[in-house]
Amino acid sequence: MTLNVYNTLTRQKETFIPLNPENVRMYVCGMTVYDYCHLGHARVMVVFDMIARWLRQSGYPLTYVRNITDIDDKIIARAAENGETIAELTARFIQAMNEDADALGVIRPDVEPKATEHIAQMIAMIERLIANGKAYPATNGDVYYAVREFAAYGQLSGKSLDDLRAGERVEVDSFKRDPLDFVLWKAAKTGEPAWESPWGNGRPGWHIECSAMGEELFGNTFDIHGGGADLQFPHHENEIAQSCGAHGGCTHHEHGKTIESHVKYWLHNGFIRVDNEKMSKSLGNFFTIREVLQKYDPEVVRFFILRAHYRSPLNYSDAHLNDAKGALTRLYTALKNTAPSEFDVRETSNDYTRRFFAAMNDDFGTVEAVAVLFELAGEINKTNDVQLAGCLKALAGIIGLLQREPTEFLQSGVSDGLSGEEIETLIAQRKQARADKNWAESDRIRDLLNAENIILEDGAGGTTWRRS
């Protein structure tokens, strides 16, 4: 089946035709490592992990790059505030980022380039931009990109230069030729890290990092560039201007339009909202992944992210996470009651696999794909068909779900109450009470467990339990 993706640049779905089917290349903007990752980062990590998994499932040899920004104003300020070196700060939060990603079932990208390891490439790109008349050094030691020299500026975000200038205040004592020009190289400030350059000691601006690292790893053009919707402007807009300004050859025609971009498909995931408000520290509704994982199993969080379409806004609340937990519990319960047989989706096709694949090939339609999983679970509950159970586990596995032992998931959970051993002891005591026909004691133990949110399920094979 043909994969169609929504291209932010052209604002429509397009058939995915890679530049080289033997080497599909995807670059995703990663984290600035000065603090713990938040829910917005969780969505980026899980969404593009899902996309990488689907591309590989579809037979494309993929190289997935997600960069790490390890030099930045916020990093410098936080390290100074903590009284630690920048290297100590960034190493600590890179480790924390990887721990969070691992918990969410995110497969590590193939390459995770660090900005500080590619300063030479950034300087070389800036030199080419100056030589091509797209950038200029200012008298304060900074180097700026001359936005007016790139006619296609604004095409990704749909913003025109005139509209942008109308909303821009004139800067006082600015060294820029145009208020919209953005910095490529920042002159060194006292006490800050700096590197030697033709324009004096300094460090790179944020936007040039991804242009230089993408070119270093992938060359002048590549297939997919991804990130959160908040990066569409100005970060990705500026990337296009830098990359095309540095090497040219970006112009091509798509759908009757002249497009200028070094990337064929631009993909952006939607925002995270909290109780229908934008997540922000100022509103006090800002959650790190670690805070959420103190209350919810990581697979519940992954499932919560994937059962919404990646481009839609995602509203976080305890009610929505509790609902996701209940829904994932229903899927795992179907697998607990009917042990799955081996099922290879590449060799066996049925109506469920066809509809799952059709959903995923329609711009990674996880909403419809997850609906297929629930249909499968419903049929499994009716028929106890082990092949359908295998199909459910195999399809869910494509997007990183339902790969644990069902009992392990069903009995997992963040609890300050009874341990698994204590629960098993109480179940054994209840069994003895029932054997002794001591119904009052049996009911007392069941009520005690219910109060601890432990659900007992009596069956022919004995009593099993799960956390509610």
**10-residue stretch averages of pLDDT, the chain, 468 residues long:** 95 96 97 96 98 97 98 95 96 98 98 98 98 96 95 91 70 79 95 95 96 97 96 96 90 79 97 86 86 95 98 95 96 96 91 97 98 98 97 98 95 70 83 85 85 79 78
Pairing of strands 12-15, 4-7: antiparallel
CATH number of the domain at 4-269, please? Answer: 3.40.50.620
Number of Cβ atoms within 10 Å of the Cβ of 22: 7
Spatial neighbors of 17 by CB under 8 A, at least 6 apart, are none
pLDDT number for residue 415: 54
Q: What share of the chain is helix, strand, coil (3-state, %, to 5)?
A: 45, 20, 35
Tell me: is residue 239 an annotated ligand-binding position.
yes
Token code pair at residue 440: 């009052």
pLDDT number for residue 168: 62
pLDDT per residue as tens digits for the range 401-411: 999 999 999 98
pLDDT number for residue 414: 55
Q: Is the dihedral of CA 238, 240, 241, 247 positive or negative?
A: positive
Residue 292 burial class via C-beta count within 10 angstroms: exposed 0-12, middle 13-18, buried 19 and up: buried
Return the DSSP state at 32.
B
Residue found under tokens 């990208």: 109
Token code pair at residue 94: 């890179």
pLDDT per residue as tens digits for the range 264-296: 999 999 999 988 888 877 787 889 999 999 999
pLDDT number for residue 169: 59
pLDDT number for residue 173: 53
The domain limits of the chain are 4-269, 318-410, 420-467
Identify the CATH class of 318-410.
mainly alpha
pLDDT number for residue 341: 95
- Residue 135 phi/psi, 5-degree rounding, is -145, 165
Tell me: is residue 29 an annotated ligand-binding position.
yes
pLDDT number for residue 78: 96
Tell me: is residue 210 an annotated ligand-binding position.
yes
Return the DSSP state at 210.
H
